[in-house]
Amino acid sequence: MASPLSPSDERGLKAFSLDSQIRRAFFDLSASTIWRLAEEVPAAAGALGLTYTRDGKDETINVLLRPTGLLTEQMNYYHTVSNVLLEALKRIPDMYLENAEIRKTVPLDPDHEALLRETWTPQHRNSHCVFGRLDAMADFVSPSWKDSLEFVEPNLVGVGGIVLVPGAEKVVVDHVWPALRAVAPSLHLEAGEDLRSLFLRELQDHLEVIGRPGGSVALADAKYSGDGPSELGALADWFRGQGVDAVYVDPTELAFSQDEVRYEGRKIDIVYRDYDTRDFLDFAEWGGDPIVPRTLFARNQMVSSLGGDFDHKSAFEIFTDPRFANFFTTGERQLLRRHILWTRVLSERKTADYHGDEVDLPAFTRLHRDTLVIKPNRSYGGDRVLIGPTVSETDWDAAIQTAIAEPGEWVVQKMARVVAYEFPVAQHDKSIAVEPFYVVFGFAPTKYGTGVLGRASQKQVVNVAQRGGLVVVLVGRHT
């Protein structure tokens, strides 16, 4: 009898089988082994610097004991889709400069727009570097795993995970994987490509594009703030271990002299910024020289470029509103429509709903509270996200009124299908509980491969900044 499953279903069930094998292998471990891992994994994570600084104190980030897995063919699909979305996002600066409707959809403050117009050149149009992470819901084990991929928001400036992802992978591969292999020798799993290496290759490519091959790299963030994940210092150390001239700096430590941006007298050829452009606009107030960021942006020496500043959540309106269809090829439209959640700047206006029918947006938002989410357009870290089904009608109406009163500041988005995975949790009485966690995946695409950051929480808003944990995603093949 012929199989009733489509080829896609067959591949989905193979993925389910892979994750099932990992889960089954983990629970074949003895209780003493699991407890040993529960002690080893946090210690190893701390030793590798997988920490989040909160109020000046370092907290070791929780790495969940059980990894999840995806097949190579799934990884290839996520890589393709993520790159299509990233390249589409990189085109938004030129759309913004040429189209008034785009300017309404992804609004910039006047001084921010002025900086874009002052520093964006034909060279930028041809090639500029944006390194980002695209956050999404995905169910690796579903027979319909492709359709389960739903992008929630783009993060294109100062993304977390460049050091955390390979660090967490190393912890699991060094400590958990040997234990799993001992009880399930037929499992074939490995870490993905090192995200640090993928990122470095992107920087080196861009150095060649701007005529500075093999140049020096500065990794810049608010170095002395005492808050957030501690990644760039460790990344600079790793770059130097690869033979790269790299330094970790606070942006205010950069100076302009002899027609170059310098750090302690050393010429800097490219800067990776974990720093908002809106902070650069107030650079002088922080003790910095305003000519430094302007020079770096104008000379295409900044990563992410000003294209990274269009990581508004409202950018997804550009991909889901028929008004903007002519900006994309047929293939792009099909792929983006399949995987990007319907999103609109929440304001007093009419727009196309999920099916392309014209609706009054505030009225539509009130009527469909059970399927919608309201979010700040440009905030991050799970800040002020309002999930329609979990709030009262009064609070929902108040959020709509706030959005109308603050044009461009809020978006309404179709609620993603939140995926829950089960993970083991060591209890104080030495027992092992199995508990559900909501999981969000961040895809960091490059030409050479895509890194995957898995984050888990028992709250529906999943974020490491809100004390979520890291889920390691290993790549395997079906046997």
Residue 444 pLDDT: 97
Tokens 């302009």 locate to: 256
10-residue stretch averages of pLDDT, the chain, 479 residues long: 53 69 90 91 92 78 92 94 97 97 95 96 94 94 90 92 95 96 91 96 98 98 75 95 98 96 97 92 90 97 97 96 94 93 97 95 97 90 82 96 95 91 80 86 96 85 57 84
Q: Is 74 helix (H, G, I), strand (E, B) or coil?
A: helix
Fold of the domain spanning 342-414: Dna Ligase; domain 1 (3.30.1490)
Bond before 304 cis per omega within 30 degrees: yes
Q: What one-character DSSP code corresponds to residue 62?
A: P
C-alpha to C-alpha distances, 8 to 142, 340, 349, nearest whole angstrom = 10, 20, 40
**Total Cβ atoms within 10 A of residue 111:** 12
Q: What is the pTM of this model?
A: 0.92
Residue 165 pLDDT: 94
Residues 6+ apart with CB under 8 A from 242: 197, 200
According to CATH, where is 3.30.1490 located in the chain? Answer: 342-414
